[in-house]
Chain A
Amino acid sequence: MRLNTNKSLLQGTKTERGQNRKNLLFWCLAIFISLSFLILLLSGAGPKSKPKVYIQKLKNGHYSLMVEGKPYIVKGVCYNPIPIGQGYDYDWWQDPYKPWLVDGKLMQEMGVNTVRIYQPSDNPEAVKRVIRDLYELYGIRTILGHWLGLWEYPCPFYADKDFQERIKKEVLQMVNYYKDEPGLLLWILGNENNYSCLGQVRPWSSDEIDKESDPHTQRFMRLKIYYSFVNELAKEIKRIDQYHPVALGNGELVGLEVASQFCPDIDLIACIIYRGKSFGNLFNSLKTIFDKPILLSEFGADSYDAYLKKEEQNMQAFFLESQWRQIWQNIAGQKTGTGNCIGGTIFEWSDEWWKHNEFDSKGWSIHDTESGWSNSSYYFDIKAKDNRNMNEEWFGIVALSQDEKEAGAGLDKRILRKAYYVIREFWRNPYKNLKIKNKKAK
């Protein structure tokens, strides 16, 4: 009987058995969900446990940019698609022909995964549309920057608190607008603003600095003020956006010994470097001065030979290929490099015809061939008159046609330069290309 009773208790009626099964299923499901959540929490893969984009320092001291858990090498271009005949203030974000759609496709075919934009426009909806189109249609991520008032008239008053507050407000507004865009990669604060501290471009000062008689100390004071301000911005950004790294834009490595003291909260350095075929000791020097990862955020070569006075695509392709080889040699995991480079953004995607004289609107429709400055690292045409060999309007790896338009659109036709193809080939198999080059060198 007892046995029977027990049996009956164990087996129950048909209805009871069905109920038991439901209970069992419920508890199994509950345990499964709880365990899954616990595992996710412990493994750190939860949506809020780690930023989506972050810098990882490896055991060997190398740095990797991580995007959604995977190493990401920035294969990028600086992007400012001003059409022929338009000036620097043209709002291309609202261009009815949507140049980013044509360009994005060409970029995707080349292997570009990132565009760098110096500063978004004042229309957040237009900016979001561009970021989304590039990401959703072509898988291209966007780096957004801010000039930090470098071009403000008469100069950027970095020592002035009101100026700082105004810039901070602009920067944080930008972050708030775009931080949730899935296509956003990281932020860059400033470009070559450090040169303003040396009086080389947009010089500024303050009463306190002017009282100091030693120019070396004056320089230090300006750098300290500027980099402290950038550090404050970086901290503020991180309060509202933990998902994207913050870079310090810097011309060369100038002033970074001061930045290392007063700007520790930035995640990486975005360097502007024009050193011809070789970056020299750049990667090692940065490691010594300020141990942060580096993004080559502006580098490249123009495609106009100022000596022979003709377009010279081979020259541009030669320099760019050499530069990319060195970038790759210094990516994390390479045996011989410094391992602190996370990639680069070539200056630039397409030619800008307004650049030679930004105030002469007639010149915006002319592809100027007069050189603007001299750089002996680009030695093929250094024998040009007064050694002026750099042609600002010819840096695009894509030329614009004055005569033809893109099919079905009113855009200036894109003409791919040799550098486009050479870099595309390099990116397709960089490690193999490095090996071939090294063998040839031996």
Chain B
Amino acid sequence: MKKGLGIWLVLLLLIPTLILAQEEKPKEFVVYRDKNSRQNHYIPSGWMGDYGDIKLNDQFMDNPQSGSTCLQFTYTAQRAQGQGWAGVYWQNPANNWGTKKGGFDLTGMNKLTFWARGAKGGEKIQKFFVGGIKGTYPDSVNVEIGPIELTDVWKQYTINLAEKDLSYVSGGFGWVTTADLNPEGCTFYLDEIKFEFDPKMKPEAKKPEAMPFYVYSDRGSINNHYIPSGWMGDYGDIKYDGASKEDPYLGDSCIKITYTGNATQGAGWAGIYWQNPANNWGTVDAGFDLSKATKLTFWARGAKGKERIEEFKVGGIMGEYSDSDSASIGPVILNKEWTKYEIDLRGKDMSYIIGGFCWATNIAVNPDLPVVFYLDEIKYE
């Protein structure tokens, strides 16, 4: 009897403790709160692209969003390493590009929030992201938002991570921007970056994008989508200038592409895919829902005229996550004058498009090398 009473008393004491322990399950996981905060995780060590263009003050004290400090980033857009873009990864441990075991198991969180503001307003950040580090120990998640145009007052942004696999995250947070988006450089501030659990958070369903939907409008346009990252074939033969001032069709810039035809990689052909996110060959669940599009239009011209492009294409990336369809035109002989081209998308399933635009050509059909041609106003309508 006494023994039974003892067990009963132990249970009475244990049950509330267990309930409390469950309730105390952490609801947030901080990346940056304040300089020297013991709650901080991850190190802003992964400086990328033109890293010489970036300056960081991690204890900026003028007008933080909360606490006593915030992060101040200055991006000069000087192209110190000749890349035209730059960014920073928060890593664990520092400088871990997937080469060593690290990271955190953030299972249970379902969003990352952060506060940001620009020094003047109008600063453009290509993307903010969580995960995406590859290598021997790759992140289990890769989600991004952007491009984002900052305001001169603090604003909170959210990266939806609902139902994402957060079991291994060594790249906790990051941002990337480009010189094209910020030709004069920019200064911006970040504060209170943290993973959270929000019971109201639902998985992000892809919504059909509104038309027109630009692949390329102008060099600094926030309306641009997709990144010309998928260089194919003899990629060493390609020069890409996304801010050419040489007689743009509309606006202040156009795309200039030079294909030397030297067969640097021995392929005899070359091309570029515009992808979402960059370098996505169907390995990342991303892309846009372009179901509302009935055509893709673009303007093109050759430097001399008679340049032959074998194919202009949308969609068609195949991988674990494949484009839902593809459509193309070609071969096309370019004129010296700007000419409008159209890819008919009627009857196509454009609900999932990673490869927003593509061109490809080869040496055999272009005896007059190098091939120089221009593109402008690439958009879905």
A379 touches which of B320, B331, B346, B365 (Cβ 8 Å): B320
Interface 1/0 per residue, A372-400 and B, CB below 8 Å: 00011101001000000000000000000
Which residue of chain A has the shortest Cβ distance to B350 in the bound complex? A281
Pick out which of these stretches binds chain A: B49-57, B68-76, B192-200, B322-330: B322-330
Chain B residues, CB < 8 A from A379? 282-283, 319-320
B347 touches which of A285, A375, A377 (Cβ 8 Å): A285
B332 touching A376 by the CB < 8 A rule? no
Q: A216-B332, A281-B349 are in contact. Are A376 and B319 (CB under 8 A)?
A: yes
Q: A214-B333, A219-B331, A379-B282 are in contact. Are A281 and B325 (CB under 8 A)?
A: yes
A215 touching B322 by the CB < 8 A rule? no
Chain A residues, CB < 8 A from B319? 276, 376-377, 379, 382
A284 touching B282 by the CB < 8 A rule? no
Chain A residues, CB < 8 A from B347? 284-285, 288-289
Q: Which of B283, B322, B346 neighbours the largest number of chain A CB atoms within 10 Å of its CB?
A: B322
B318 touches which of A215, A281, A377 (Cβ 8 Å): A377
Interface 1/0 per residue, A269-290 and B, CB below 8 Å: 0000001101011001100110
A214 to B331, CA, bound (A): 8
Interface 1/0 per residue, B308-352 and A, CB below 8 Å: 100000000111101111000111110000000000001111000
Chain A residues, CB < 8 A from B330? 216
Which residue of chain B has the shortest Cβ distance to A213 in the bound complex? B333
Chain A residues, CB < 8 A from B317? 376
Contact residues of A between 213 and 246, Cβ < 8 Å to B? 213-216, 219
In the assembled complex, the CB of A429 is this many whole angstroms from the nearest CB of chain B, namely 28
Q: A215-B308, A215-B365, A376-B282 are in contact. Are A275 and B322 (CB under 8 A)?
A: yes
Q: A219-B331, A288-B347, A379-B282 are in contact. Are A278 and B325 (CB under 8 A)?
A: no
B349 touches which of A215, A275, A284, A289 (Cβ 8 Å): A284
A215 to B346, CA, bound (A): 24
Chain A residues, CB < 8 A from B349? 280-281, 284-285
B373 touches A (CB below 8 Å)? no
A280 touches which of B320, B325, B329, B332 (Cβ 8 Å): B325
Interface 1/0 per residue, A119-155 and B, CB below 8 Å: 0000000000000000000000000000000000000
B114 touches A (CB below 8 Å)? no
In the assembled complex, the CB of A352 is this many whole angstroms from the nearest CB of chain B, namely 25
In the assembled complex, the CB of A408 is this many whole angstroms from the nearest CB of chain B, namely 45
A382 to B330, CA, bound (A): 28
In the assembled complex, the CB of B1 is this many whole angstroms from the nearest CB of chain A, namely 53
A219 to B308, CA, bound (A): 14
Q: A215-B308, A216-B330 are in contact. Are A377 and B324 (CB under 8 A)?
A: no
B348 touching A215 by the CB < 8 A rule? no
A interface residues, tally (CB under 8 Å)? 19
A216 to B322, CA, bound (A): 28
B324 touching A215 by the CB < 8 A rule? no
A41 to B282, CA, bound (A): 58
B331 touching A280 by the CB < 8 A rule? no
Chain A residues, CB < 8 A from B282? 376-377, 379
B interface residues, tally (CB under 8 Å)? 22
In the assembled complex, the CB of A372 is this many whole angstroms from the nearest CB of chain B, namely 16
Q: A280-B349, A289-B347, A376-B318 are in contact. Are A216 and B325 (CB under 8 A)?
A: no
Chain A residues, CB < 8 A from B320? 379
B216 touches A (CB below 8 Å)? no
Chain B residues, CB < 8 A from A375? 318
Chain B residues, CB < 8 A from A284? 347, 349
Interface 1/0 per residue, A252-280 and B, CB below 8 Å: 00000000000000000000000110101
A281 to B347, CA, bound (A): 10
A280 to B320, CA, bound (A): 12
In the assembled complex, the CB of A286 is this many whole angstroms from the nearest CB of chain B, namely 10
Interface 1/0 per residue, B36-73 and A, CB below 8 Å: 00000000000000000000000000000000000000
Which residue of chain A has the shortest Cβ distance to B318 in the bound complex? A377
B281 touches A (CB below 8 Å)? yes
A280 to B324, CA, bound (A): 6
A422 to B349, CA, bound (A): 30
Q: Which of A213, A289, A377 neighbours the largest number of chain B CB atoms within 10 Å of its CB?
A: A377
Which residue of chain A has the shortest Cβ distance to B306 in the bound complex? A213
Q: A215-B331, A215-B365, A216-B332 are in contact. Are A285 and B348 (CB under 8 A)?
A: yes
In the assembled complex, the CB of B4 is this many whole angstroms from the nearest CB of chain A, namely 47
A281 touching B324 by the CB < 8 A rule? yes
Which residue of chain A has the shortest Cβ distance to B283 in the bound complex? A379
Chain A residues, CB < 8 A from B318? 275-276, 375-377
B322 touching A280 by the CB < 8 A rule? yes
A285 touching B281 by the CB < 8 A rule? no
A276 touching B308 by the CB < 8 A rule? no
A281 touching B331 by the CB < 8 A rule? no
In the assembled complex, the CB of B273 is this many whole angstroms from the nearest CB of chain A, namely 11
A270 to B281, CA, bound (A): 29
B331 touching A216 by the CB < 8 A rule? yes
Chain A residues, CB < 8 A from B331? 215-216, 219
Which residue of chain B has the shortest Cβ distance to A380 in the bound complex? B320
Chain A residues, CB < 8 A from B324? 280-281
Chain B residues, CB < 8 A from A214? 333
A377 touching B322 by the CB < 8 A rule? yes
Which residue of chain A has the shortest Cβ distance to B344 in the bound complex? A257
Contact residues of B between 262 and 298, Cβ < 8 Å to A? 281-283
In the assembled complex, the CB of A383 is this many whole angstroms from the nearest CB of chain B, namely 10
Which residue of chain B has the shortest Cβ distance to A382 in the bound complex? B319
In the assembled complex, the CB of A257 is this many whole angstroms from the nearest CB of chain B, namely 10
B322 touching A281 by the CB < 8 A rule? no
Q: A215-B331, A285-B347, A376-B281 are in contact. Are A278 and B308 (CB under 8 A)?
A: no
A30 to B22, CA, bound (A): 91
Interface 1/0 per residue, B350-371 and A, CB below 8 Å: 0000000000000001000000
A-B contact list, 13 entries, CB within 8 Å: A215-B331, A215-B333, A216-B332, A276-B319, A278-B322, A280-B324, A285-B347, A376-B281, A377-B319, A377-B322, A379-B283, A379-B319, A382-B281
Other than the given A219-B331, A280-B349, A376-B317, 20 more pairs (CB < 8 A) read: A213-B333, A214-B333, A215-B308, A275-B322, A276-B319, A276-B322, A278-B322, A280-B323, A280-B324, A281-B348, A281-B349, A284-B349, A285-B348, A288-B346, A288-B347, A375-B318, A376-B319, A377-B322, A382-B281, A382-B319
- Name the 8 nearest CB pairs between A and B, nearest first: A288-B347, A377-B318, A281-B349, A215-B331, A281-B325, A379-B320, A379-B319, A376-B319
